[in-house]
């Protein structure tokens, strides 16, 4: 029985033997379609090849693509765990042709792989075709010898695929497996098609037409193939299982969950284990691809999946974080096929543990609230939307988690009511997805990339170079010239200007030509390896074909280089100080500062920040050379190079190394920092000059941000601090070296004076006006002392209440502090009287006369407040009435 890993390998090897390029799965976050939340099919990374705006050096490809369906149109979350074939994470096996072969080859490929390599009996297979696709039907007859009754023509959109309202489209053919007549269900197109007897295992899409806005279609010049076969489905079939969760890979994760919770994998907790196994995969791969839990967009979907898994872990009796303990089992099963999983293991475990620790604190309270709300309802009635929203807003329960909990009780939720409550809440955008916020690349850059070669970047070696203008763009359209005083974008054949990427901002500078000059205000990387320069001609127009001298702003570039190299040293110093879970989550390398975001659960202490800063400056003073090498990604990882999680790298990468670590510093004399990086850097670490860490802050959940200065900016910062220190010393009339001791002495003096003032206030309050000893009156048979105080704050009242109670021995006390017109109220009752008199009632009676509401505390001590202290006498009378009542 082949394992899922073996089935994946067999699929890819088959198509590789048949001339296909084996392409790594793209990250789950699509790089070429910001409107798409996650990669949910194999064709996503090839979208621009199918539309013709991008070309590659191969026309046939095969992949095993990581996919997530848990939000938006494709949302399988609610059904996961309860059905045999729903997942949030799955692998899509696929083969693709970009204008190479078509139906005549795609169908034979599929049939041969299934019946020969996978050894599936031919008589167990049947197919569907689009009802007008006679060509596909004839090929199936010829290649597979299928009779007409096993070639089912489907007239609906189930067998016709469209990328959108316009663009590439075409018919599909789907391959089904017949599990036998002992299982209920009918063939596709029949009334019983929803049964489980006939299961779709492979979909072949023939991109044959281009559809236009008026609904007409025309044959594509380059017809293409897009196929998709779920690994979990074909795996279940080949392993003789009818349930995807019974395959070897999923079974291993289910058993890991059962072992960790000391429960049976197939007992009453079976659904919980299935949910945990599935969600472990989606959450781990999303984190490995750079997604972190948050309150909006992709981060919120990740959090929803996490919390759903955590609730099911809770139902299994797991009172402590569970998910992070299952990550090693996942890495064992899938780490060989997806090495990024192992590289991100520490980050995945840290993130899962932090998120689960936080959620456990509110999970119990939220579930109790849910039970309380259900207890108020008639049997079977749906949960009101307002209650579901309260669970979301107060306890962090996503709606689908509440629905999941209600499902087990045979209840539903008023979704319309929830949506209405959400609409009233300003943060409604946290639950909605409207794209990643990134702008789509204009089609103009794809069009230009088809016509001209990629820009050659010369900026690693020079800041001045000659280039020829190859294209000009203004307002998204190609133009022949940009007039003097105008503004637009310029593409040249070669440039020393760095295009913004990898956290490093784009270069600025100037261009010169015989007739004039102009400013280069920014440089961006576009599609097809193009470097777009934002230009502003100052003397004479700029035209396509012009020969230019391009000059980078040297001082600005030097400052950016220093900050970028310091970021590398900072990254490694953080890893050495805080642990291997530290991974880059973002950065900014600008001329005036650097910013580094990294995975870490809590704020850095002053000692940790000082250690990091000291480490960075030690390697700056070391003045070691900064080396760059070009190598394969595998070779780079073999020497320990750090890479960004979720980034997709090409066949060759640029590796930047710097610093020699002394023995005992983690690397024991080896290179300190090794990273994959395409940015510009200093030649020696000493060129950075100096690094000052300004501090750290929270960037998002589980992500910290460190900001720092280097070079002249760092020196200016220290000089400014030194000047401020001298100013403080002058004010304190002491030497700069003695400022700390002097401030400490002042703080101690201030504290002593505050204590002395508090004591005087208390003594004055206890003595009463004119220093006379206070006297209590008999009210309702109880000694009662009441007093209005000035110069006393609300926090001073409780100890005064205790003093008066001690003096009375038995009785009640009411004190009202007049603080600038507002009233603070406190009441006390001695222990012998609390069975019939409550301080809470005295406070409530008093604050009602002072423009306040309520009041709280214990029978022996309570507090409250009011807006108007001028009614203090009325408040005392109200308290007396409460005593007499």
pLDDT in tens, 281-316: 999 999 988 888 877 778 888 998 998 899 899 889
Residue 568, annotated ligand binder? yes
pLDDT the model gives residue 427:
45
Structure confidence by residue, pLDDT tens digits, 251-271: 999 999 999 999 999 988 899
8 Å CB contact between 320 and 349: no
Residue 516 structure tokens:
């004039």
Please choose, from the candidates 482, 530, 470, 477, the residue with its C-alpha nearest in 3D space to the C-alpha of residue 506.
530
Average pLDDT over residues 353-379: 82
Q: What pLDDT is stored for residue 378 in this prediction?
A: 85
Residue 776 φ then ψ, to 5°: -95, 150
So what's the pLDDT on residue 481? 96
- Answer yes or no: is pLDDT of 359 > 60: yes
Least confident of 40-44, 328-332, 762-766: 762-766
Q: Which residues of 759-791 are buried (b: 16+ CB within 10 A; e: fewer)?
A: eebeeebeeeeeeeebebeebeebbbbbbbbee
pLDDT at 772 over 80: no
Task: List, in order, residues 6 or more apart from 308 with CB less than 8 Å away.
Answer: 77, 275, 279, 398, 400, 401, 404
* pLDDT interval class at 32 (50, 70, 90): low
pLDDT at 437: 28
Could you tell me the fold of the domain covering 562-718?
A: 3.30.980
Give the distance between the most distant pair of CA atoms in the chain.
115
| Tens-place pLDDT, residues 804-817 | 999 899 999 999 99
Alpha-carbon distances of 177 from 197, 480, 713, rounded to whole Å: 8, 59, 68
Residue 564 assigned as binding residue? yes
How much is the pLDDT for 767?
A: 66
Average pLDDT on 7-36 reads 89
Residue 517 has pLDDT above 50, yes or no: yes
Q: What is the mean pLDDT of the chain?
A: 88
Residue 661, pLDDT > 90, answer no
Q: How confident is the model over 508-528, as a mean pLDDT?
A: 93
- For domain 774-884, give its CATH number from 3.10.310.40, 3.40.980.10, 3.40.190.80, 3.40.50.1820: 3.10.310.40
Whether the Cβ atoms of residue 629 and residue 655 lie closer than 8 Å to each other: yes
Between residues 326 and 645, the one the model is more confident about: 326
List C-alpha distances in Å: 252 to 4, 88, 277, 337: 12, 18, 9, 16
Whole-number pLDDT of residue 739: 92
Indicate the pTM of the whole model. Answer: 0.64
Read off the DSSP letter of residue 193: T
- Mean pLDDT score, 200-222: 88
Percent of the chain predicted with pLDDT > 90: 57
Give the pair of three-digit tokens for residue 729.
């010393």
What's residue 434's pLDDT? 35
d(CA 498, CA 507): 5
Averaged pLDDT, 829-851:
93
Give the distance, in angstroms, between the CA of residue 126 and the centroid of all CA atoms in the same chain: 43
Instruction: Assign 648 a pLDDT band (cuts: 50, 70, 90).
Output: low
pLDDT at 616 over 90: yes
Query: What percentage of the chain has pLDDT greater than the value 70?
Result: 93
* CATH no. for 444-552: 2.40.30.130
Higher pLDDT, 226 or 209: 226
Q: Which residue has the tokens 């520490």?
A: 346
* Confidence grade of residue 647 (pLDDT, cut at 50, 70, 90): low
Please provide the DSSP assignment of 597-641 as one string. Answer: EEE-SSPPPHHHHHHHHHHHHHHHHHTPBPEEEEE-HHHHHHTT-
Phi, psi of 490 (to 5 degrees): -125, 135
Which ranges of 648-738 would DSSP assign to H, the alpha helix?
Answer: 711-732
Residue 584 CA to residue 639 CA, distance in Å, equals 18
More confident residue, 856 or 486: 486
Whether residue 126 has pLDDT greater than 60: yes
Asked if residues 516 and 484 have their Cβ atoms less than 8 Å apart, the reply is: yes
Q: In the numeric block, which tokens belong to residue 301?
A: 């979907």
- Choose which CATH entry (3.40.50.300, 3.30.930.10, 3.90.79.10, 3.40.50.12780) describes domain 4-243: 3.30.930.10
Q: Is the CA virtual torsion 110, 111, 117, 122 positive or negative?
A: positive
Residue range 780-797, pLDDT digits in tens: 899 999 999 887 888 889
Per-residue pLDDT band at 108 (split at 50, 70, 90): very high
How many Cβ atoms are within 10 Å of 339's Cβ, its own excluded? Answer: 16
Looking at residue 818, its pLDDT comes to 87
pLDDT score of 173 more than 70: yes
Res 435: pLDDT: 33
pLDDT band at 645 (very low <50, low <70, confident <90, very high): low
């Amino acid at each position: 029985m082949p394992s899922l890993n073996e089935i994946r390998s067999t699929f890819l090897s088959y198509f590789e033997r048949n001339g296909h390029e084996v392409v790594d799965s793209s990250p789950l976050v699509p790089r070429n379609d910001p409107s798409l939340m996650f990669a949910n099919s194999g064709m996503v990374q090839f979208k621009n090849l199918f539309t013709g705006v991008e070309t590659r050096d191969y026309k046939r490809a095969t992949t095993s693509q990581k996919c997530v369906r848990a939000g938006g149109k494709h949302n399988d979350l609610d059904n996961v765990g309860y059905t045999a074939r729903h997942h949030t994470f799955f692998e899509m096996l696929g083969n693709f042709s970009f204008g190479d072969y078509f139906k005549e080859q795609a169908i034979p490929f599929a049939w041969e792989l299934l019946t020969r390599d996978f050894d599936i009996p031919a008589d167990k297979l049947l197919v569907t075709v689009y009802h007008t696709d006679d060509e596909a039907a004839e090929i199936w007859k010829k290649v597979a010898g299928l009779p007409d009754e096993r070639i089912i023509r489907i007239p609906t959109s189930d067998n016709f695929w469209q990328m959108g309202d316009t663009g590439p489209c075409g018919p599909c053919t789907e391959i089904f497996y017949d599990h036998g007549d002992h299982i209920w269900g009918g063939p596709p197109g029949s009334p019983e098609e929803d049964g489980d007897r006939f299961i779709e295992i492979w979909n072949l899409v023939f991109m044959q037409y281009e559809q236009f806005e008026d609904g007409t279609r025309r044959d594509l010049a380059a017809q293409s193939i897009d196929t998709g076969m779920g690994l979990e489905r074909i795996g279940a079939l080949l392993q003789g299982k009818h349930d995807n969760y019974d395959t070897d890979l999923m079974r291993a994760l289910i058993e890991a969950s059962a072992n960790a919770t000391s429960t049976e994998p197939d007992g009453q907790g079976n659904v919980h284990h299935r949910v945990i196994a599935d969600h472990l995969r989606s959450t781990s791969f999303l984190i490995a691809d750079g997604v972190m839990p948050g309150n909006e967009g992709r981060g919120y979907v990740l959090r929803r999946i996490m919390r759903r898994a955590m609730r099911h872990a809770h139902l299994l009796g797991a009172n402590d974080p569970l998910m992070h303990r299952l990550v090693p089992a996942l890495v064992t099963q899938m780490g060989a096929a997806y090495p990024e999983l192992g590289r991100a293991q520490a980050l995945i475990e840290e993130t899962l543990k932090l998120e689960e620790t936080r959620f456990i604190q509110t999970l119990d309270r939220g579930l109790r609230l849910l039970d309380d709300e259900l207890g108020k309802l008639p049997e079977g009635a749906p949960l009101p939307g307002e209650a579901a929203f309260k669970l979301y807003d107060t306890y962090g329960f996503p709606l689908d988690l509440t629905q999941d909990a209600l499902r087990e009780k045979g209840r539903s939720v008023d979704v319309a009511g929830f949506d209405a409550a959400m609409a009233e809440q300003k943060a409604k955008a946290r639950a909605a997805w409207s794209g990643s916020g990134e702008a789509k690349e204009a089609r103009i850059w794809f069009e230009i990339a088809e016509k001209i070669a990629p820009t050659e970047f010369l900026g690693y070696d020079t800041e001045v170079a000659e280039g020829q203008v190859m294209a000009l763009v203004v307002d998204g359209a190609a133009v022949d010239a940009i007039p003097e005083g105008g503004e637009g974008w310029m593409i040249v054949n070669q440039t020393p200007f760095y295009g913004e990427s990898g956290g490093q901002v784009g270069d600025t500078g100037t261009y010169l030509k015989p007739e004039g000059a102009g400013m280069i205000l920014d440089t961006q990387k576009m599609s097809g390896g193009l470097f777009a320069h934002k230009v502003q001609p100052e003397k004479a127009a700029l035209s396509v074909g012009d020969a230019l001298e391009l000059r980078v702003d040297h001082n600005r570039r030097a400052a950016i280089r220093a900050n970028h190299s310091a970021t590398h040293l900072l990254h490694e110093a953080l890893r050495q100080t805080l642990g291997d879970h530290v991974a880059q989550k973002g950065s900014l390398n600008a001329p005036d500062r650097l910013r580094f975001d990294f995975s870490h659960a809590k704020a850095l202490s002053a000692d940790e920040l000082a250690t990091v800063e000291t480490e960075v400056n030690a390697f700056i003073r070391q003045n070691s050379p900064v080396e760059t090498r070009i190598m394969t990604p595998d070779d780079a990882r073999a020497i320990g190079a750090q890479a960004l999680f979720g980034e997709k790298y090409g066949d060759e990468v640029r590796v930047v190394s710097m610093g020699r670590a002394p023995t005992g510093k983690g690397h024991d004399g080896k290179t300190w920092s090794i990273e994959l990086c395409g940015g510009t850097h200093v030649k020696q670490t000493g060129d950075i000059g100096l690094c000052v860490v300004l501090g750290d802050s929270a960037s998002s959940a589980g992500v910290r941000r460190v900001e720092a200065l280097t070079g002249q900016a760092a020196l200016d910062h220290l000089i400014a601090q030194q000047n401020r220190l001298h100013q403080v010393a002058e004010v304190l009339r002491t030497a700069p070296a003695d400022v700390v001791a002097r401030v400490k002495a002042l703080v101690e003096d201030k504290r002593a004076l505050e204590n002395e003032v508090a004591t005087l206030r208390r003594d004055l309050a206890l003595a009463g006006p004119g220093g006379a000893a206070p006297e209590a009156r008999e009210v309702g048979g109880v000694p009662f002392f009441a007093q209005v105080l000035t110069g006393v704050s609300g926090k001073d009242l409780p100890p005064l209440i205790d003093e008066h109670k001690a003096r009375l021995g038995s009785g009640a006390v009411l004190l009202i502090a007049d603080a600038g017109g507002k009233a603070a109220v406190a009441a006390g009752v001695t222990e012998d009287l609390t069975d019939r008199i409550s301080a809470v009632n005295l406070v409530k009676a008093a604050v009602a006369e002072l423009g306040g509401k309520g009041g709280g505390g214990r029978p022996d001590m309570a507090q409250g407040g009011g807006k108007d202290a001028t009614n203090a006498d009325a408040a005392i009378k109200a308290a007396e009435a409460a005593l007499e009542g």
